Structure formats: C-alpha cells, structure tokens
Amino acid sequence: MTDRPDSAAERSLLARVLAELIAVRRARLLSMLVLALAMLVAGLGAAMQAQGTRVDAVLLFSAFSLIAIGIVCALAAIVAWTRINRDILDSVAAARPASARAPRSRTGGMAIAIGFAILGLLLGWMLWSATPILAIAVVLACALLACLGPIWANELDGADDRLAVILDSDGELAARFATFTPIWLHEAVLNERAEEERR
C-alpha cells in the first residue's frame, strides 16, 4: 500500500502542531509561576509599605488584591502542571489547537523583556519619593514579568527539536504518530496549500 501524495505534508503539519502544543503547555506553566511570583512580590511590597506610622488603607487593599491575583496564578500553574503530561495525540484528535500569539524569536522575546524592564524602572522612579518599599517591589515584579517574553520565545523556537527528542525517546508515541490522522488534518493541509497559492 503506497502513501497518499500529501502524506508527507500531513505528517509535517501534524508535527508542527504537536510541537507548538508541547511548547505552549510548558510556556503556560512557566508563565503562571512567573506571574504568581511577580504578583506576590508586588503585593508584599505594598503590604510592607502600608505598615507605617499611619496605616494606608488603599495600599492594604492593593496588597490584598495583588496577593489574591498571585494565589490565583499559582493555582493556574498547578492546573497547567496537571495538563503538561496529557497525551498530545489525544489532545489534537478532535480539533486543531489555536496557534499561539506569542513571540517566536529571541528578538521578539527580548523586545518584550526590555519593555517590561523600562516600565518597571519608570514606575519605580515615579513611586520612589512617596513609597520606596513599594517602588522596589514594583521594579522586582516587572523584572520577573520581563522573563515572559524570553520564556515564550525560547519554548516556541525550540519546539520542533523538543518534539523530535520526545519521539526518539518514546517508541510507542512515535509509532502512533506515524499512523495518527485526526479528522481535521487533511482539510488543514488543503487550506494551507490554498493559502500558499494565494500568496
């Protein structure tokens, strides 16, 4: 039995989709951890700044809100951890996952990192005279948030290599991948070819 002419194109597209799915799962977990830490740092800074000669109710409310957001992000990280080892083939059986809207090169990741760093320094400078502890906390939080760009760029940039390593180390998964054809794959290949022809 010979393979269909578009079999190689389908395998290639499926490999790209699976590689991106793995990268997104890993990046989502790391992002939730970074967000949780950043919110907790900012929240603790606001709480420490509020404890002075006169308790600042606004800062205390801000601290509570930031810490609550940090806890939610930590819970989201736990959920992401439970999903990271889900079967990748079963996850794409019914529908093609949406493509991640994130930087895919180190240049894009660094641009986001620099943007957060500048924002942190600007906010820290604005807050320093009135709330120095909070200013330091905000700078640290933005420094953590600056990691988001490089995290996504690194994961997506190395997605294909990571999938290749996984397939090489897992013979059962590689065998399933060789014959696995989700219901959306053939139509997706045709759509990609039509898009290339239009371009």
Report yes or no on 195 lying in a domain: no
Whole-number mean pLDDT of the chain?
A: 89
Report yes or no on 94 lying in a domain: no
Model pLDDT, residue 54: 60
Q: What is the mean pLDDT of residues 43-69?
A: 85
Residue 170: which pLDDT band, with cuts at 50, 70 and 90? confident
Task: List pLDDT tens digits, range 112-121.
Answer: 999 999 999 9
Report yes or no on 68 lying in a domain: yes
Using CA atoms, how far apart are residues 184 and 127, in angstroms rounded to an integer?
52
Residue 23: which pLDDT band, with cuts at 50, 70 and 90? very high
Report yes or no on 25 lying in a domain: yes
Report yes or no on 98 lying in a domain: no
Report yes or no on 191 lying in a domain: no
Model confidence at 182: pLDDT above 70: yes
Model confidence at 2: pLDDT above 80: no
Report yes or no on 35 lying in a domain: yes
Report yes or no on 197 lying in a domain: no
Which residues constitute the domain of residue 12? 7-89+103-184
Domains identified in the chain, total number:
1
More confident residue, 130 or 18: 18
Q: What is the mean pLDDT of residues 23-31?
A: 95
